[in-house]
Amino acid sequence: MAANTGEHEKFMAEAMAMAEEALAAGEVPVGCIFVRENTIIAKARNRTNELRNATRHAELEAIDEIMADPALTPPGSSGYPLADTTLYVTVEPCIMCASALRQMGIKQVLYGCSNDRFGGCGGVIGINDRLAHPSHPPYEAIGGYSREDAILILRRFYVTENSNAPTPKSKVNRVLKTEILPP
Ligand SMILES: [Zn+2]
């Protein structure tokens, strides 16, 4: 069932709430939710610092949660655990996550802002639909949902003093930029 624009906004707000949780925990603020039949089946956020594991991106955290629940991965439904599932994520999935999502058969990805450094859905490379693969079907990825909020929360993170850094750099003179350039 296709969600309408209002539902996209509602679901992106849920993903943004997870990004806020990440920010409060001192993580790079990226949050996501997975939706199936208009129901949230998993929500997660970045936990790379907490777990000291660079693979613990929001998307993979949520996928682990889904895979651990047999009720969310009924056998024989399609062969792909994330078929009929939409991901809402505040930042374009990175190359690692974009590849994992394709191998899991995700139906669609809706994201906030693009990831110019590591984006795997067109920001750097289009793993979602521009690379041929013999078995895993491509998936649609569309950016621009709550884009300004997604950018601003990242800026809030990067202007905040990181007291966990081995040699904390003073960022007291940094000012939060609120101007958003068009994509
Ligand atoms: Zn990632």
pLDDT digits (tens, 9 = 90+) for 102-120: 999 999 999 999 999 999 9
Mean pLDDT value across the chain: 90
pLDDT digits (tens, 9 = 90+) for 47-98: 999 999 999 999 999 999 999 999 998 876 678 999 999 999 999 999 999 9
Sequence-separated (6 or more) residues with CB below 8 Å from residue 147: 112, 113, 180, 183
CA of 3 to the centre of ligand 1 (A): 24
At 1 the pLDDT is 44
Q: Give, in order, the Cα–Cα distances in Å from 157 to each of 51, 71, 148.
A: 18, 36, 14
Mean pLDDT score, 150-167: 78
Q: 169 or 115: which carries more pLDDT confidence?
A: 115
If you count DSSP H runs as helices and E runs as strands, how many of each does the chain have, helices first? 5, 5
CA of 93 to the centre of ligand 1 (A): 5
CA of 114 to the centre of ligand 1 (A): 12
At 165 the pLDDT is 55
Residue 62 contacts residue 85 (beta carbons within 8 Å): no
Query: Exposed/middle/buried for 164, CB within 10 Å: 0-12, 13-18, 19+?
Result: exposed
Sequence-separated (6 or more) residues with CB below 8 Å from residue 85: 34, 35, 36, 41, 106, 107
Q: At residue 169, does pLDDT exceed 60?
A: no
Task: Catalogue the active-site residues.
Answer: 59
Q: How far is 121 from 89, CA to CA, in rounded Å?
A: 12
CA of 180 to the centre of ligand 1 (A): 23
At 108 the pLDDT is 97
